[in-house]
C-alpha cells in the first residue's frame, strides 16, 4: 500500500527543485513576453510573422556554428536574431517592390530560410562530434536545459521590451489600428513599425531554446488569440495575453516535470493552444457559447416585446387599452417562431400584463407605458 505522505513529499521536492524553478521562471517570462507582443501581430493581421521569423532564424544558428564553432547560447541567439531580421527585411522588400501580398511573402521567406537551415543542419551532421553542438535542440526546443544565466537574459530582455511598450504605448497602439491616421498626425510610422518588428524578432529568438523553431509561432499567436475572446479593449487584451502566456509557460514546465519523458516546449504550446481553443467557446466577449447565449436572450427579448406591442394594438383597436384578449388572438399577430405562452409568463413576472378570467390577458398600467415606449422607438426607426 502506497504511503500518501511519501508521495506528497516527493511531489513537493519536485515542485521546489532548483531546476524546475529555473525552467518555470524562464518559460513564464518568455510566455508573458511572447503573448504581449503577439497581440500587436494578431491585430495587425500578421500572425505568420512569428512563424516566418522563427523558421528564418534556423540558418543563422547553423551558420554561426559553422563559422565560429561556438556552442554558447548567446552566440547562437545572435546568429538567429540576425537571420530572423534579414528574413523580415526580405519580406518587406518583396511586399514593397512587387504586388505579392504580405502572407504570400511571409510564406515564401519561411519556406526558403527553413529549407536552407535544414540543409545546413544536414551538412553539420557530417562533421565529427557535431551532435555535441546541441543545434537540434533549437528545432523543437529543450527548455529543461535552461540555466540561471538564460533566465536572467530573457528577464532582462523582457524588462527592456515592456519598458519600450510602456514608453511608446499610445503611438504603437495607433499604428497598429490606423497607420494612415498615425502618419497624418506626424507619428514616425516606419520607425514605430520597425520597433515592433525588432521586439517581436527578439522575443521569438529568445524563445527558440525553450520552444523551438517549429512551435515558437504558437507561443506568439495562441495567448493573443485567447485574450481576444475575453475583451474588446486592446489594453486588457495585452494584459490578458501576457498572463495567459506566463501561465502556459509555468504550467507546461510543471507538467513536464511530473511526467517522465514529456518535453517541456511542446507541453507549453499545447497548454497555450488548449486555452485558446477553450476561449473560442467560453470567452466572455467573443466566445461562441456567450455569443449563442446573447443571441438567445436577444431573441427572447424581441419576442416578449412583440407580444407586448401586439396586445397593445389589439386593445387599442377595441378602444380600451385594458381590454383582455386570448392567446389565440395574440398568436395571430405574432411571428410563428414566437412562443406566446412563455412570453406572456415572463411579461406577467415583470408586471407588464395580467391574466384575466377565462385565460385572457390584459395590459397593466406599466405595460401600457412600456408598449407606448416601444412603439415610439419603432416609429423613430422607421
Asked whether 38 and 69 are in contact (CB, 8 A), the reply is no
Asked whether 219 and 275 are in contact (CB, 8 A), the reply is no
Cα gap 311→329, rounded to integer Å: 9
Asked whether 133 and 71 are in contact (CB, 8 A), the reply is yes
Cα gap 349→311, rounded to integer Å: 16
pTM (2 d.p.): 0.79
Q: What is the structure's pLDDT at 1?
A: 46
Q: Where are the domains of the chain?
A: 11-263, 290-381
Q: What is the pLDDT of residues 60-84, one digit of tens each?
A: 888 888 888 777 777 888 888 888 8
- Mean pLDDT for 186-194 is 88
206 pLDDT exceeds 80? yes
Cα gap 240→238, rounded to integer Å: 6
E strands, the chain, in order: 325-326, 353-355, 360-363
- Mean pLDDT for 341-358 is 86
As a CATH number, domain 290-381 is 1.10.10.10
CA 248: distance to chain centroid?
12
- Which grid cell sits at 11? 511531489
- 20-58 burial: b if 16+ Cβ within 10 Å, else e: bebbbbbbbbbbbbbbbbbbbbbbbebbbbbbbbbbbbb
Asked whether 52 and 110 are in contact (CB, 8 A), the reply is yes
- Mean pLDDT for 140-148 is 74
3-state SS assignment for residue 243: helix
Q: What is the pLDDT of residues 84-138, one digit of tens each?
A: 888 888 888 888 888 888 778 888 888 898 899 888 888 887 776 655 556 667 7
Averaged pLDDT of the chain: 84
Q: What is the pLDDT of residues 27-63, one digit of tens each?
A: 899 999 999 999 998 898 877 777 788 888 888 888 8
275 pLDDT exceeds 70? yes
According to CATH, the superfamily of the domain at 11-263 is: ABC transporter involved in vitamin B12 uptake, BtuC (1.10.3470.10)
Cα gap 175→169, rounded to integer Å: 10
Cα gap 36→32, rounded to integer Å: 6
Identify the H or E element spanning 160.
helix 148-167
Q: What is the pLDDT of residues 322-344, one digit of tens each?
A: 888 888 888 888 878 888 888 88
Q: What is the structure's pLDDT at 14?
A: 59
What are the backbone dihedrals phi and psi of residue 353, each rounded to the nearest 5 degrees, phi first?
Answer: -135, 165
CA 314: distance to chain centroid?
51
- Mean pLDDT for 234-261 is 90
Give the closest residue to 257 by CA, choosing from 87, 20, 18: 20
Amino acid at each position: 500500500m502506497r504511503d500518501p505522505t511519501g508521495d506528497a513529499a516527493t511531489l513537493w521536492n519536485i515542485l521546489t527543485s532548483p531546476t524546475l524553478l529555473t525552467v518555470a521562471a524562464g518559460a513564464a517570462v518568455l510566455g508573458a513576453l511572447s503573448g504581449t507582443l503577439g497581440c500587436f501581430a494578431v491585430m495587425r493581421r500578421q500572425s505568420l510573422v512569428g512563424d516566418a521569423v522563427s523558421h528564418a532564424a534556423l540558418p543563422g544558428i547553423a551558420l554561426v556554428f559553422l563559422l565560429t564553432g561556438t556552442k554558447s547560447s548567446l552566440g547562437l541567439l545572435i546568429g538567429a536574431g540576425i537571420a530572423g531580421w534579414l528574413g523580415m527585411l526580405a519580406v518587406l522588400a518583396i511586399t514593397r517592390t512587387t504586388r505579392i501580398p504580405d502572407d504570400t511573402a511571409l510564406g515564401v521567406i519561411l519556406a526558403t530560410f527553413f529549407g536552407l537551415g535544414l540543409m545546413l543542419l544536414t551538412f553539420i551532421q557530417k562533421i565529427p562530434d557535431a551532435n555535441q553542438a546541441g543545434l537540434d535542440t533549437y528545432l523543437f526546443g529543450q527548455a529543461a536545459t535552461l540555466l540561471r544565466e538564460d533566465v536572467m537574459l530573457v528577464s532582462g530582455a523582457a524588462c527592456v521590451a515592456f519598458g519600450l511598450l510602456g514608453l511608446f504605448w499610445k503611438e504603437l497602439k495607433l499604428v497598429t489600428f490606423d497607420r494612415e491616421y498615425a502618419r497624418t498626425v506626424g507619428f514616425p510610422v516606419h520607425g514605430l513599425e520597425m520597433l515592433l518588428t525588432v521586439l517581436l524578432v527578439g522575443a521569438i529568438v529568445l524563445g527558440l531554446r525553450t520552444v523551438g523553431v517549429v512551435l515558437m509561432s504558437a507561443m506568439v499567436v495562441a495567448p493573443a488569440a485567447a485574450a481576444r475572446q475575453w475583451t474588446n479593449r486592446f489594453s486588457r487584451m495585452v494584459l490578458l495575453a501576457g498572463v495567459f502566456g506566463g501561465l502556459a509557460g509555468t504550467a507546461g514546465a510543471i507538467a513536464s516535470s511530473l511526467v517522465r519523458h514529456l518535453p517541456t516546449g511542446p507541453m507549453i504550446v499545447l497548454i497555450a493552444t488548449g486555452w485558446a481553443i477553450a476561449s473560442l467557446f467560453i470567452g466572455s466577449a467573443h466566445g461562441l457559447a456567450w455569443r449563442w447565449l446573447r443571441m438567445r436572450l436577444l431573441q427572447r427579448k424581441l419576442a416578449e416585446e412583440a407580444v407586448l406591442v401586439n396586445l397593445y394594438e389589439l386593445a387599442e383597436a377595441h378602444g380600451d387599452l385594458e381590454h383582455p384578449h386570448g392567446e389565440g388572438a395574440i398568436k395571430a399577430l405574432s411571428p410563428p417562431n414566437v412562443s406566446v405562452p412563455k412570453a406572456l409568463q415572463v411579461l406577467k413576472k415583470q408586471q407588464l400584463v395580467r391574466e384575466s378570467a377565462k385565460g385572457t390577458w390584459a395590459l397593466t398600467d406599466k405595460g401600457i407605458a412600456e408598449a407606448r415606449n416601444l412603439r415610439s422607438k419603432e416609429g423613430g426607426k422607421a
